[in-house]
Amino acid sequence: MVPFEVVKIKGPNPFAPWEEDPGAISGRKDESRIFNGFSQATASKQTGLLAVVGGQGTGKTALLRHFRHSAEKSGMLAPYVQVERGEGLPEVLDKLCQEMALEGGKKASADSVEKLLLAVERAQAGTGFGAVIFIDDIDSMKKADEAVSAIGAAAKASWGKRSVSFVVSSTRELKLDPETATVMVLRPFNEQEARDFMEKALGKGPPKMGEECLASILADSGGNPRLLKSISKHIYDKLKDTEKVITKGHYLAYMQYIMSMLSREWFGAMYQETPAAERTIVKVMASADDGMHVSDIARKIGKPLGPVTALTKRLLDSGQIIRMDRGKYKVFARLYAKYVMQRG
């Protein structure tokens, strides 16, 4: 008698690598088209500043790396740096010079944005394709608004003279000159983008993602790309080898495990680093799935409107809440709201 053999269907976790292939990012087709136009304009000396703004987990870093890959593929020089919290403009300029040296250029130094542009010009001289300078998490920089202003002014002064532009990313809104800067706000994934993301990750399967399961994950994640990917990763980790479809039943059965992992990887640190006064506001908002007006928050916690408005703005800048309408906000994802409520 031939023994029964269990055929394994599930392969390695396709959601496990946190770094996406910069050449093939999920979703963001409109954003890619905008950047392609921006880089083409840069090559024609129509310089500018592109600011990519989005909350926590919206994929700013992945998108900047994708843009960089696209620029390099077009023959452009594309130095990229990620700002560490508290770094000033001089440190960031020095990191950019080091990055250019690593890419084969001559070691340069720059104590101003203008001198950086001169160094970039020398590094890409003769190529005719231009350059795009990438600064990720610019809002982590010391005196970030002053730095952004200096970068915007340099880009404006370069119009018609140089083929060098800037792309920066930020969690909070930046003070920008509308004549020079283009703002790209990263929205959560919609249903089609979430479906495309799943199909790209899972391929032809099996397993495949069930429609009801996808709808539940999308609702609980708020379409947040990082959260969508993290939930899917943890479901896949717990899935039996022989499963052909990832169902809503799997999602609900593994919810406690998912929440535990999210607490360890993301939510816990974010919540602990939040000042007590801001936590009070998050706790109130966590129970309001439809969002709350600032005036309602102030009334509920018994505090004056002015201070509550300021604290709400800080939460918005940190990415823990999102704006729904003028003066109305909600927690960025149901699962984070659930985590906050569980904390009591």
220 assigned to some structural domain: yes
Domain co-membership, 123 together with 51: yes
User: Which among 185, 211, 246 is the end of a domain?
Assistant: 185
Per the domain annotation, does 12 fall within a domain? Answer: no
Beta bridge partners of 132: 165
Work out the pLDDT band at 20, boundaries 50, 70, 90.
low
Q: Is residue 226 part of a domain?
A: yes
The string of pLDDT tens digits covering residues 202-219 is: 988 789 999 999 999 999
| 58 found inside a domain | yes
Residue that is last in its domain, among 138, 160, 185:
185
Per the domain annotation, does 11 fall within a domain? Answer: no
Tell me, yes or no, whether 240 lies in a domain.
Answer: yes
Q: Do 127 and 243 sit in the same domain of this protein?
A: no
Return the higher-pLDDT residue of 12 and 69: 69
Q: Would the pLDDT of 221 be above 50?
A: yes
pLDDT for res 246: 95
Q: What is the pLDDT of residue 27?
A: 75
pLDDT at residue 5 tops 50: no
| pLDDT for 122 | 83
pLDDT per residue over 323-339, tens digit each?
999 999 999 999 999 99
Q: What is the pLDDT of residue 92?
A: 95
Same domain? For 323 and 208 the reply is: no
Residue that is last in its domain, among 241, 269, 297: 269
> Predicted confidence band at 6 (pLDDT cuts at 50, 70, 90)?
very low
Which residues, 6+ apart, have CB-to-CB distance to 77 below 8 Å?
Answer: 100, 103, 105, 120, 123, 124, 127, 129, 130, 131, 132
Give the confidence band of 19 by pLDDT, cuts at 50, 70, 90: low
Nearest Cα to 149, choosing from 133, 166, 137, 163?
166
In a domain, 201, yes or no: yes
238 lies in which domain range? 191-269
pLDDT of residue 105: 58
Verify that 149 and 217 share a domain, yes or no.
Answer: no
Residues 65 and 88 in one domain: yes
Asked if residue 296 and residue 206 are part of one domain, the reply reads no
Peptide bond before residue 207 is cis, with ω within 30 degrees of 0: yes
- Given a cut of 60, is residue 4 above it in pLDDT? no
CATH at 197: 1.10.8
Residue 294 token pair: 């600032």
pLDDT at residue 8, as a whole number: 53
CB 216 within 8 A of CB 248: yes
Q: What would the pLDDT profile of 112-128 be if each residue is shown by its tens digit?
A: 899 999 888 888 776 67
Please state the rounded mean pLDDT for residues 276-304.
96
Query: Which residue is listed with tokens 């890619």?
Result: 32
CATH, residue 278: 1.10.10.10
d(CA 315, CA 310): 9
Average pLDDT over residues 316-326: 93
Same domain, 57 and 102: yes
User: What is the mean pLDDT of the segment spanning 128-157?
Assistant: 93
Residue 104: pLDDT over 90: no
Task: Residue count of the chain, please give it.
Answer: 344
- Give 51-100 pLDDT, tens digit per residue: 999 999 999 999 999 999 999 999 999 999 999 999 999 999 999 999 88
In a shared domain, residues 173 and 314: no
pLDDT tops 70 at residue 22: no
Together in a domain, 212 and 331: no
* Same-domain check for residues 155 and 125: yes
CATH number of the CATH domain containing 90: 3.40.50.300
Residue 179: its pLDDT value, please? Answer: 85
Distance CA(96)–CA(146), nearest Å, equals 18
pLDDT band at 129, cuts 50/70/90?
confident
Q: What mean pLDDT do residues 141-147 have?
A: 94
Domain identity same for 179 and 222? no
Instruction: Indicate if 44 and 180 belong to the same structural domain.
Output: yes
Segment 233-273, tens digit of pLDDT: 999 999 998 899 999 999 999 999 999 999 999 999 999 99
Q: What percent of the chain has pLDDT over 90?
A: 74
Q: Is residue 281 part of a domain?
A: yes
Average pLDDT, the chain: 90
Tally of structural domains, the chain: 3
CB-based contacts of 82: which residues, under 8 Å, 6+ apart? 61, 136, 137
